[in-house]
């Protein structure tokens, strides 16, 4: 166990790292962040910011020498970096788990091999494999790059062989997954933590709505039957245990074909849809990340109030400074900004957590606050 007062290390300096760092420091820990961006949101609140590339061995040695344990805030840290660090210091999650989640081919194969459902898919590494995959799956389909895709990036809807081939070439012929498009009924997610001792704490199921591939709202409790919510949580626990995962994991799920659950993606870190925990749960997802990394017991994931999280993208600033006063005058509206200096359309700048007596009321409150911000 690393007691408060110790030093924790973080690879990556974005908003997830910022919220982890803020929580860790509130709990008495020092935090060293390794991140190349000089304007890193996490680096701005850390004890120390090592500004270097993720493959800079001197910087990695410095990080490993200062931190008692290291975690990540995004899944695309080079595998060689994680492997090197794991030889010198405790890393949670481990390189093997991150390697599965950062590659869609490995991820979907892993899930399928453990008896869980995904949308039908085929690995595609060449035009010839794409043509063969199309003959088996056909339209409607999605072509997704195997690596580095998020928030709708690196994927294309394809309805013909010609569209599929054009999309593949636009992705520079990198390895991809061709996936049969499901008729979605709902999108859910489960964020959970697993400790080094095998203990698991799963947060309540969130119901998600995306706009143009980017998460817009998460409502908790999800507006689904209790039986479906329990099945979703049980499925997420099966995934985290099958991986032998140690850390916080986000499991994205589709509901389709008459209420059937499908695993969409795994995120080996705190998840955007878990931000509601910061104001609505006994322990939030970032405190769980600190607890797992430091070897502390997991906290209670109990939900204290219905809540809706709504993302604030750079588009909210398109008419100038948002109307903070009007939105925050609404009872139950909580603001979290990420300390990003440059506002850009589509860039995640912050979020609101809106608490109310029912999930439906929380959603209505979030939409009202959002409208006031942009009015």
Q: Which of 47-51, 137-141, 300-304 has the lowest mean pLDDT?
A: 137-141
Residue 182 has pLDDT above 80, yes or no: yes
CATH class of 120-180: alpha beta
The rounded percent of the chain whose pLDDT value lies above 90 is 78
- Quote the mean pLDDT of the chain: 94
pLDDT, average across residues 37-58: 96
CA 277/CA 284 separation, integer angstroms: 5
Distance of CA 193 to the CA centre of its chain: 13
CB contact at 8 A, 46 and 63: no
pLDDT value for 277: 98
DSSP 273: G
Residue 150 has pLDDT above 80, yes or no: no
Cβ-based neighbours of 226, under 8 Å, separated by 6 or more: none
Domain with CATH 3.40.50.20 in the chain: 7-91
Sorted by sequence, the CB contacts under 8 Å of residue 197 that are 6+ apart come out as: none
Topology annotation, domain 7-91:
Rossmann fold (3.40.50)
Residue 152 clears pLDDT 80, i.e. is over it: no
Which of 14-18, 38-42, 156-160 has the lowest average pLDDT? 156-160
CB neighbours (10 Å) of residue 232?
23
Q: Which range (103-117, 185-199, 220-234) has the least confidence? A: 103-117
Round to whole Å and give the CA distance between 188 and 178.
Answer: 22
Q: How many CA atoms lie within 13 A of 303 on its CB side?
A: 22
**Counting every residue, how long is the chain?**
375
Distance between CA 93 and CA 239 in Å, rounded?
14
Three-state secondary structure of 323-339: CHHHHHCCCCEEEEECC
Q: What is the pLDDT of residue 151?
A: 57
Outline which parts of the chain fall under CATH 3.30.1490.20: 120-180
pLDDT tens sequence across 53-93: 999 999 999 999 999 999 999 888 887 898 899 999 999 99
Which pLDDT belongs to residue 96? Answer: 85
Per-residue pLDDT of 296-326, as tens digits, reads 999 999 999 999 999 999 999 999 999 999 9
For residues 263 and 255, what is the distance between their CA atoms, to the nearest angstrom?
Answer: 9
Kindly report the CATH class assigned to 184-374: alpha beta
Instruction: pLDDT band for 135, please (50, 70, 90 cuts).
Output: confident
Tell me the pLDDT tens digit for each residue of 4-26: 999 999 999 999 999 999 999 99
Give ranges for CATH 3.30.470.20 in the chain.
Answer: 184-374
pTM value?
0.93
Q: What pLDDT shows up at residue 331?
A: 97
**Going by C-beta distance under 8 Å and a sequence separation of 6 or more, which residues neighbour residue 184?**
254, 255, 256
Give the chain's count of helices (H) and strands (E).
12, 18
The pLDDT, as a whole number, for residue 78 is 83
Nearest in space to 33 (alpha carbons), one of 44, 25, 23, 340: 44
CB 179 within 8 A of CB 112: no
Pick the more confident residue, 79 or 106. 106
């Amino acid at each position: 166990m690393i007691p408060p007062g110790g030093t924790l290390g973080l690879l990556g300096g974005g908003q997830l790292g910022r919220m982890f760092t803020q929580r860790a420091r509130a709990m008495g820990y020092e935090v060293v962040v390794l991140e190349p961006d000089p304007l890193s949101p996490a680096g701005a609140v850390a004890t120390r910011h090592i500004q270097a590339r993720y493959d800079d061995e001197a910087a990695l040695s410095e990080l490993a020498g200062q931190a008692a344990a290291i975690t990540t805030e995004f899944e695309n840290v080079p595998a060689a970096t994680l492997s090197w660090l794991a030889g010198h210091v405790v890393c949670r999650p481990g390189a093997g788990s991150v390697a599965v989640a950062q590659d869609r081919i490995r991820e979907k194969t892993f899930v399928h091999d453990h008896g869980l459902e995904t949308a039908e898919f085929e690995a595609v590494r060449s035009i010839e494999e794409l043509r063969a995959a199309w003959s088996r799956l056909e339209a409607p389909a999605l072509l997704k790059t195997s690596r580095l895709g998020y928030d709708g990036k690196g994927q294309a809807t394809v309805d013909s062989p010609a569209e599929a081939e054009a999309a593949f070439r636009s992705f520079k012929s990198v390895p991809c997954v061709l996936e049969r498009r499901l008729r979605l009924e709902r999108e859910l997610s489960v964020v959970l933590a697993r400790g080094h001792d095998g203990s698991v704490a799963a947060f309540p199921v969130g119901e998600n709505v995306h706009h143009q591939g980017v998460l817009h709202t998460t409502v908790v409790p999800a507006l689904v039957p209790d039986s479906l919510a329990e099945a979703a949580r049980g499925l997420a626990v099966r995934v985290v245990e099958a991986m032998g995962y140690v850390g916080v994991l986000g499991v994205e799920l589709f509901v389709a074909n008459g209420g059937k659950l499908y695993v969409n993606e795994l995120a080996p870190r705190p998840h955007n849809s878990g931000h509601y925990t910061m104001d609505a749960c006994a322990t939030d997802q970032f405190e769980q990340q600190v607890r797992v990394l430091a070897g502390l017991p997991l906290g209670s994931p109990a939900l204290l109030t219905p809540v809706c999280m709504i993302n604030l993208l750079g588009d909210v600033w398109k008419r100038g400074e948002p109307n903070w006063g009007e939105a925050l005058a609404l009872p139950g509206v909580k603001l979290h900004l990420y300390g990003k200096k440059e506002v850009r359309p589509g860039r995640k700048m912050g979020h609101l957590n809106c608490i109310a007596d029912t999930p439906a009321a929380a959603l209505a409150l979030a939409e009202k606050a959002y409208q006031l911000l942009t009015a």
